[in-house]
Amino acid sequence: MAVAECIFCRIVAGTSPSVELYRDATTFAFMDIHPVNEGHCLVIPRAHFVTIFEMSSEDFAAVGATVAKLAGAVNKALQPIAMNIVQANGAVAGQTVSHVHVHILPRRAQDNLLMSWDRFRAGDPLAADPVRLAAIAERICAQLAG
Ligand code: AMP
Ligand code: ZN
């Protein structure tokens, strides 16, 4: 997708409207246009990255710092009972806008917003096998070391 066609790039450039909350040299924050709860907002890098895997650790850290700033402000302003910080990479993960964004999602009691996986299930005994976990960890650690 050309940057000119990206809705979040257009918002950063000021050629599409947004309810802006914050901007600095590398990040931008604004209200989500379809809030799933009061105070739902987004933090994005100003530069166009489709997923976090194209970002440098410095770019990612800058987004993280703005997320922390905004989440703290939303928490103080709206005093939700809890908050999710959510970020999707890829359509299967739920990404609908192809420009990295982090959702700041205040939670209310009985708001019926569900994380889509069952975090309370006992687990797949095969997948949870300690030998298998160790083998997967070894592959990840090899990448960290490389
Ligand atoms: P995701 O499904 O994680 O890719 O989230 C995309 C989010 O962007 C959704 O919550 C949309 O409501 C939000 N969104 C899409 N277009 C706009 C826009 N023009 N202004 C603000 N938020 C938007
Ligand atoms: Zn973009």
DSSP 83-117: EEEE---SGGGT--SSS--EEEEEE-TT-----SS
Residues surrounding ion ligand 2 at CB below 5 Å: 6, 8-9, 48, 99
- Say how many CA atoms lie within 13 Å of 17 toward its Cβ: 2
Q: Residue 122: its pLDDT value, please?
A: 67
Spatial separation of the C-alpha atoms in residues 76 and 70, rounded to whole Å: 10
Q: Is the CB of 98 under 6 A from ligand 1?
A: no
Eight-class DSSP state of 12: H
Q: Residue 127: its pLDDT value, please?
A: 75
- Ligand 1 closest atom vs CA 34: 12
Domain spans in the chain, listed from the N-terminal domain onward: 3-120
pTM: 0.94
Nearest CA to ligand 1 atom 12: 34
Task: Please list the pLDDT of the chain residue by residue as tens digits (146 residues).
Answer: 667 799 999 999 999 999 999 999 999 999 999 999 999 999 999 999 999 999 999 999 999 999 999 999 999 999 999 999 999 999 999 999 999 999 999 999 999 998 777 766 667 777 778 999 999 999 999 999 98
Spatial separation of the C-alpha atoms in residues 15 and 8, rounded to whole Å: 10
Q: Is the CB of 34 under 6 A from ligand 1?
A: yes
Q: Residue 1: its pLDDT value, please?
A: 66
Instruction: Report yes or no: 21 and 41 within 8 Å, Cβ to Cβ.
Output: yes
Instruction: Report yes or no: 100 and 55 within 8 Å, Cβ to Cβ.
Output: yes
Superfamily in which the 3-120 domain is placed by CATH: HIT-like (3.30.428.10)
Spatial separation of the C-alpha atoms in residues 9 and 133, rounded to whole Å: 40
